[in-house]
Amino acid sequence: MDRLFTTHLIRREIPLHPVWTLRTLDEGGLDGPEDVWVSGAWESDPRLRSYRGRGEYSQTIRCGGNIRIWAGGVGFRAGVYLDGRLLREHYGAYTGFEAIACGLPEGEHCLQIIADNRFAEDSALHIPNDYYAYGGITRPVTVERIGDVYIASLCALPVRNGGRWIIQACVTVRNLSAEPVSADVSLSAGEAGEQQTVMISSGETTEIPFEMACGNVREWTPEDPALYPVQAILFLNGEPMDDLIDRIGFRTVRVEGNRILLNDRPLKLRGFNRHEEYGSFGSAVPPEAMMQDLQMMRDLGANCVRTCHYPNDPRFLDLCDETGMLVWEESHARGLQEEQMKHPKFMEQLRMSTREMLEQHINHPCIFIWGSLNECGDNTEFGAECYREIFSMIRQADGSRPVTAALLERPGCLVYGDLDVVSVNIYPGWYYNGPVTGGLDRKLEEAGKGGGAGKPVIISEIGAGAIYGFHDPFGQAKWSEERQCAILKEQIRAIMNRPDITGLFLWQFADCRVDEEWAIHRPKTHNNKGIVDEYRRPKMAYETVKQLFGWYKTR
């Protein structure tokens, strides 16, 4: 399952065996075909630990008619084939995509997905970076039987209008047939329901807007994360033919002055940056490990998590919806400066990552803020225009959440006035010596003069590194657990004691692997700033952060 709950009661899913056949296609791969578990990063196999190339996954499925193949994530180029015929290509490891095959004869068919994680000229976002670009089918694959007309997507945003809750929704229906079709589409949520009749042209996709008042609902809060199913049903000639179910939470997020308000109450954020990675599984993190991460973050006193630096698995977001963990989610772009942002594919690929993130994750109530372009070229006119285009794209799709970007501490940012929330990455005590407040005050002064005055401020990254098990009895050596504790203690106290700061996201929750090109700056070829290591073994800093977050939680 690609979600943690039932998304269809009418549409039929075709069972897939979890074991696929993998055949590597480039030098340094396997000697022959191997059975592998899907989903999974191929780097989990010791023989493919550093493999960069193409891999062909295949299995035989029994089906007929029209089928919809959904791949939740493939690292990081993908081609989907059925019986040797290319159905769909896709770029980007962190969002899902569909491939449609129509009019299949009933019987056995060969499904193939080719994954490719090679760095090349056609890739602007996936480049050697401070996190590893894994290969393989890293998120679930599902295959479904669909009719000539089916529900492609469902967006439902709760809005509070005075004392009433309103759902503003859009159901997208696609007609694969050669003829126009008249259909009835219903939408229901709680006690509310509405039905419309629409004409869908041949080969076209139609968006059907709904607006419904909802009564007798509980607000979604971190303490009481109440969720409600929303179901769209497609009727042809009065018969239900297809459906799609998602979940929503009734809550509001808005910016007022220098505060972020959730249901009109100010937030004080205590959180972590978290890469979607686990030592044993690479980027194909199983739900059990996702839940463990959330349990550990809760134990540490956190109330929020940032999905650095790309959209996360929808199952992780489902868990955050259910547990009340607030989420900053951002589209995929990290550390790209003006020259890299001028890559001919850059904006095309960034737009696609952003659009797919919004389309696929907009209904999650846990997401309280959207982000993009972490530490990119905000200090040039060209770079700033890239930021503005993406911010405009996000706001046009979703006006119910604020927009931000995690900015470098360097001077010269040109997008303060375009942000709803000013977010800054700083590392005092780690990359440079000096008091925490010094660099921060300079950055906030610049932000105020540049259009960010009076806005909420988040410290989106702050932290220090330590190698698990490395100790310095004098507590002075960098990379020792003792030094990490001392630096984090100073950083957290300095930030959380300031009333003009909305909160902070520590960098980072867990150590993660980096691409080899970064190894000269990263011992063990890992970013080692985690509070736990890549296998979730707590460092000394775990208890330090727990005590400090716990203290500020009660203030």
Whether residues 297 and 193 fall in one domain: no
Question: If you count DSSP H runs as helices and E runs as strands, how many of each does the chain have, helices first?
Answer: 8, 30
Kindly state the tokens that stand for 318.
Answer: 């489902």
Say if CB 409 and CB 369 are below 8 A apart: no
Q: Tens digit of pLDDT for each residue in 182-208?
A: 999 999 998 889 999 999 999 999 999
The answer to whether the beta carbons of residues 451 and 420 sit under 8 Å apart is no
Over 90: is that where the pLDDT of 401 sits?
A: yes
**166 and 124 in a common domain:** no
pTM: 0.97
Do 539 and 437 fall within a single domain? yes
pLDDT over threshold 80, residue 552? no
- Given this model, what pLDDT does residue 255 score? 98
3-state secondary structure of 108: strand
Same domain membership, residue 534 and residue 447 = yes
pLDDT in tens, 282-321: 999 999 999 999 999 999 999 999 999 999 999 999 999 9
Helices 481-496 and 540-553 pack at an angle, to 10 degrees, of 10
**Listed residues 222, 248, 274: the one ending a domain:** 248
Count: domains in the chain: 3
The pLDDT value given to residue 177: 96
Q: Is 321 a member of any domain?
A: yes
In a domain, 502, yes or no: yes
CB 222 within 8 A of CB 303: yes
Q: Would residue 7 count as lying in a domain?
A: no
| Beta carbons of 497 and 520 less than 8 angstroms apart | no
Domain-ending residue, one of 248, 281, 308: 248
CA distances from 539 to 140, 296, 419, 449, 511 (A): 32, 13, 35, 40, 11
205's CB contacts (< 8 A; 6+ apart) are 152, 172, 173, 174, 175
Q: How far apart are CA 176 and CA 89, in angstroms?
A: 19
254 inside domain: no
436 and 344 in one domain? Answer: yes
Is there a domain that residue 446 lies in? yes
218 and 277 together in one domain: no
The CATH number of residue 19's host domain is 2.60.120.260
Q: How large is the average pLDDT for residues 497-523?
A: 95
- 318 and 344: one domain? yes
Q: What is the CATH number of the domain that holds 213?
A: 2.60.40.10
Provide the percentage of residues in the chain whose pLDDT is more than 90: 96
Residue 425 is predicted with a pLDDT of 97
* pLDDT value of position 303: 98
The residue type at 82: L
If asked whether residues 233 and 279 sit together in one domain, one would say no
- Burial of residue 215 (CB within 10 Å: 0-12, 13-18, 19+) is exposed
**Average pLDDT value over all residues in the chain:** 97
Residues 362 and 499 in one domain: yes
Of the candidates 489, 430, 498, 431, the one whose C-alpha atom is nearest the C-alpha of residue 458 is 498
Q: Tell me how far apart the alpha carbons of residues 269 and 284 are, in angstroms, rounded to a whole number.
A: 28
The answer to whether position 259 is within a domain reads no
For 385, counting Cβ atoms within 10 Å of its Cβ (0-12 exposed, 13-18 middle, 19+ buried), the class is: middle
pLDDT at 519: 87
pLDDT band at 164, cuts 50/70/90? very high
pLDDT at 178 (0 to 100): 95
CA–CA distances in Å: residue 527 to residues 275, 304, 392? 10, 21, 33
Same domain, 43 and 187: no
Three-state secondary structure readout of 417-465: HHCCEEEEECCECCCECCCHHHHHHHHHHHHHHHHHCCCCEEEEEECCC
* Cis bond before residue 332 (omega within 30° of 0): no
Other beta carbons less than 10 A from residue 12's beta carbon: 10
Domain boundary among 146, 165, 191: 146
The residue among 459, 259, 260, 258 whose CA lies nearest residue 369 is 260
Same domain, 131 and 176: no
Same domain, 429 and 330: yes
| Range(s) of the domain holding residue 172 | 149-248
- Closest to 119 in 3D by CA, of 516, 386, 513: 516
Residue 286 domain-assigned (yes or no): yes
Q: What CATH number should be reported for the domain holding residue 298?
A: 3.20.20.80
> Is 258 inside any structural domain?
no
